[in-house]
Amino acid sequence: MGKQSRLRTKKDQGRRPAILFAILLLASVAVAWYYIDFPQFFRQVRAFFDVAEKSMDVGSDTRGIIYDRNFKELAVSLERVSVIARMREISSLAETAAQLSSVLRIDSQQILERLRDDSPRTWVVQNITRQQEEAVRRLKIPGIFLTKERARFYPQEEMAAHLIGFAENDIGLSGIEYYYDSLLSRHSAVKEENVGHLRGFPHLVLTIDLKIQGILESLIASLVARQPGSRAGAYLMEAGSGSIIASVQYPSYNPNNYREYPAQTLSNLFLEPVLLPVGIRRFLRDASLLNTHYEANGAQLPWSLVSQDESLGSQVRLWDRIGLNEPMPPEFIEDSQMRTATGGEHEITAGSVEAFDTIPEFLTPLQLLTAVTCLVNSGEKVRAQAVAHLVDPETKKEYPLPGRKEGLANQQTVADQTSREIVRLLAAQSQKGKIDTISFELENLIATDNRSMWDIRRHRLLLSVVPSLHPELVLAVLLETPAIQARGEKTEELDLAAAVDGVIQRISALQQVGMTVSDVVSPGERKKVNYTGSPDDNVQEGRIRVSTLAEEGKVFTMPDLKGMSLRKALRELGRADVRIRIVGTGKVTGQDPKPGEVVAKNGECVLFLQKEEDIQVKRLEKRESMLESHQ
C-alpha cells in the first residue's frame, strides 16, 4: 500500500476546524431558534426603525403631547419658522435690514446690529408668524433664508408650570418634561411591557384638572395680592390614589420663555424643605400615640384618653409607612435643583423648646401632604403621582406607565379605627367649613441666615380635608410673607381658612363630576372656571350642564337612575341636552321627573343623592320607632 502524501494530510487537517465551526454555528442557530421568539424580535426591530423614520420626518412630532386628565393640551411640539442670514451673500446690510424691518415689524437698527455679527451664519429673528414667513419669501432677498424646526410650546403658559416643567431642543430640563424625557422623546430604547411596541412618541395624560387648577390659581392670586413680597403655593391631592389634581405656585413662570426668570422663581416651592410649625409636629406625635396604642391593645381609645407613653420603634415604623423617610417621588424631582435643609433656618419661639423624639424637623410640603393623606384616608398607603397613563398616538389606546409600582392599595399605614380617630383629633384643632370640611391652620416665624443679615419671614400652612368623615380630597396651602414690611407698603390681614372655604365647594363638585361631564355652566363665571355652588350651607347643590348627543328638537325619556352612582347617572343623562340639579351626595335615591316621563330640550332634572350609611341609619331609626309603637 502506497503512502498518503503529506500535502493531502495537511489539507484534511485544515478542513477539520471549518467543519467543527459549521457544526457549532448550526447548533447555536438551532438553540437560538428554540429559545428566542424571533417573530417578536423582528417586530421590535421594525418598530424601532418606524420610530427612527418618524424622528427624521420634519413634519412629524418629535416629542409626545402632555394633556390634563380631560385631554386639554399642556405641552405640544409645533413647527417654528426662523429667519437666518448668510453674510457672504448679502451685498448691502442697511438695505437688507430696511427690507426685513418692513415685514417683520422690528426696528431696522436692531436687525442691522444682528447682521453685523462676525459669524458666517446669523439668526435674524426666531419664531415668525405665517404671514411674516410669506412676506419674507416674496421679498427674495439675497442671503436671507427661512429655516424650520420643531419647538416645544406650552399653550396654558403659567398654569401648573412648576409641575409640567420645560424642554428645549427636544430635551426635558425640568418637571414632568425632565423625568419622562425618555418616554416623550424616545431617546433610549424602552423595554417595558405595553410601551416598547408603541408607534411614534407616546403622549402623557396627567392627573391635573385645568378647571380646578384655574380655581386655585385665582385663590392664590387673591392671597398674594394682599401681601406684597409673598410666595404662595397650593397642592390638591386625591385621598384614595395620591393623584395631584392641581398644582399652583406664585410667582409662576411662562415655560415658553423660561430663560427670562431667576432661579428662585423656577424652583418648586412644594419641593423645598421647610421648618415644620410646632403644631404640625404635635399633631404627628399625637397620631403616632394613637397608632402605638392600637398596635399594643388591638383597640382604639378616643384621642383625649390615650396614654402619652410612646414607643420609638412604633413611631419610626409609622414614619416609614406614611412616607416621611422615603425619597421624593422621582417625577417631582427637578434636575439637580432640589434644595436640601441646611440648618440655616431657625424658628422664632416664645416658649420652651419641646422634645419631639424622631419626628422630622424639616419636610417638603409635598411630603407633609402625602403623610397627612395617608393618616386620614382610612389608612391607605398612597404616593404622590402626577401622571395617569400613556396614550398611543396612532391607536389612541391607553397604557399604564412603565415601572410604576402597583399594589399600594393593599398596604395600610394605620388601622381604619386609628385613622378615624386621627381625623377626630385633627377636627378638634381645626375650623369647620360649609360642606363638612376641616381646615388645620398653623404658622411660624422663620429666621434665615443670609450671611450679612437675617431674613425673617412668616410661614402660614393650611391643610384642608374634604369631607372630614370620608376624606376624598386633601388640600395644602403654603403662604410665605415678609415679617417686616418695607416702609410705605400696606398689607391686609387675611383669613386663610375662610378664603379656602370659599372655593372648596366648587372644587369638590368639579372633582366629583369632572371626569364625566364635559362642561359645567354657571352665570357670571368665566367659561374656563364656570361652576358655582349653592349658597345654602345645608344643601350641597349645583347646576350642571350635560353635553348633548341628541339632535335638536328631540325630547328625552327619563331612565330609572335610582341606586346608581352620580357618575353613572350623569353618563346615562349624557344622551340629552338637559340641565341637572344635584341635591346631596352619594348614590341616587330619587329623581324628578320620574322614570318614563318625557323631558323637553333644556328642561331640568333633579337628582336626589344620599350616602349609603345615612340610608341605613334612617332604616334603623324607623324600625326602632315601629317597635316602640307596638310596645
Q: Do the Cβ atoms of 558 and 596 come closer than 8 Å?
A: yes
Question: Can you say whether the dihedral through the CA atoms of 582, 587, 593, 596 is positive or negative?
Answer: positive
Residue 58 has pLDDT above 50, yes or no: no
Q: Do the Cβ atoms of 156 and 119 come closer than 8 Å?
A: no
Residue 553 has pLDDT above 60, yes or no: no
Mean pLDDT, residues 86-103:
88
Residue 492 has pLDDT above 80, yes or no: no
- Distance, in Å, from the CA atom of 347 to the CA atom of 461, rounded to the nearest integer, reads 14
The predicted pLDDT at position 47 comes to 54
Residue 288 has pLDDT above 90, yes or no: yes
Portion of the chain with pLDDT greater than 90, in percent:
26
The predicted pLDDT at position 221 comes to 93
Query: What backbone torsions phi and psi does residue 139 show, to the nearest 5 degrees?
Result: -65, -30
- Distance, in Å, from the CA atom of 64 to the CA atom of 66, rounded to the nearest integer, reads 7
The predicted pLDDT at position 546 comes to 34
Residue 312 has pLDDT above 90, yes or no: no
- Distance, in Å, from the CA atom of 346 to the CA atom of 179, rounded to the nearest integer, reads 33
The predicted pLDDT at position 36 comes to 62
Residue 242 has pLDDT above 50, yes or no: yes
The predicted pLDDT at position 194 comes to 46
The predicted pLDDT at position 618 comes to 53
Residue 601 has pLDDT above 70, yes or no: no
Q: 212-504, what's its fold?
A: Beta-lactamase (3.40.710)
Match 341616587 to its residue by C-alpha cell. Answer: 588
The predicted pLDDT at position 350 comes to 58
Mean pLDDT, residues 293-302:
88
Q: Do the Cβ atoms of 183 and 195 come closer than 8 Å?
A: yes
The predicted pLDDT at position 600 comes to 67
In single-letter form, the type of residue at position 343 comes to G
If one compares 545 and 488, the residue with the highest pLDDT of the two is 488
Residues 109-145 have pLDDT tens digits of: 888 888 887 778 888 888 788 888 899 999 999 999 9
Question: DSSP of 500-544, one letter per residue?
Answer: HHHHHHHHHHHHHHTTT-S----TTS-SSS---B-S-SSS-EEEE
Most confident of 189-193, 505-509, 542-546: 505-509
The CATH H-level superfamily of 66-204 is Penicillin-binding protein 2a (Domain 2) (3.90.1310.10)
Most confident of 145-159, 211-225, 441-455: 211-225
The predicted pLDDT at position 610 comes to 77
Residue 466 has pLDDT above 50, yes or no: yes
CATH 3.90.1310.10 residue spans of the chain:
66-204
If one compares 539 and 65, the residue with the highest pLDDT of the two is 65
Q: Do the Cβ atoms of 538 and 564 come closer than 8 Å?
A: no
Is the domain spanning 515-615 CATH 3.30.10.20? The answer is yes
Q: Which of 31-40, 249-258, 322-331, 511-520 has the lowest mean pLDDT?
A: 511-520
Q: What is the pTM of this model?
A: 0.68
Distances, alpha carbon 14 to alpha carbons 7, 20, 530, in Å: 11, 11, 87
Residues 427-465 have pLDDT tens digits of: 999 999 878 889 999 888 877 766 666 778 888 999 999
Q: Which of 190-204, 391-405, 523-537 has the lowest mean pLDDT?
A: 523-537
The predicted pLDDT at position 163 comes to 94
Q: Which of 280-289, 410-419, 456-465, 477-486 has the lowest mean pLDDT?
A: 477-486
C-alpha cell at 396: 389612541
Residues 180-194 have pLDDT tens digits of: 888 887 554 444 444
Portion of the chain with pLDDT greater than 70, in percent:
72
In single-letter form, the type of residue at position 389 comes to H
Go through 582-593 and write b for each residue having 16 or more CB atoms within 10 A of its CB, e for each that does not.
Answer: bbbbbbbbebeb
Residue 482 has pLDDT above 70, yes or no: yes
In single-letter form, the type of residue at position 255 comes to P
First to last CA, the chain: 129
The predicted pLDDT at position 376 comes to 94
CATH 3.30.10.20 residue spans of the chain:
515-615
Confidence of residue 495 (pLDDT cuts 50, 70, 90): confident
The predicted pLDDT at position 237 comes to 95
For the chain, helix (H) and strand (E) counts, in that order, are 17, 24
If one compares 332 and 425, the residue with the highest pLDDT of the two is 425
User: HSE-up of 464 (CA within 13 Å, CB side)?
Assistant: 28
3-state secondary structure of 76: strand
In this structure, the strands spanning 387-391 and 203-206 are antiparallel
The predicted pLDDT at position 434 comes to 79
C-alpha cell at 484: 417686616
In single-letter form, the type of residue at position 81 comes to V
CATH 3.40.710.10 residue spans of the chain:
212-504
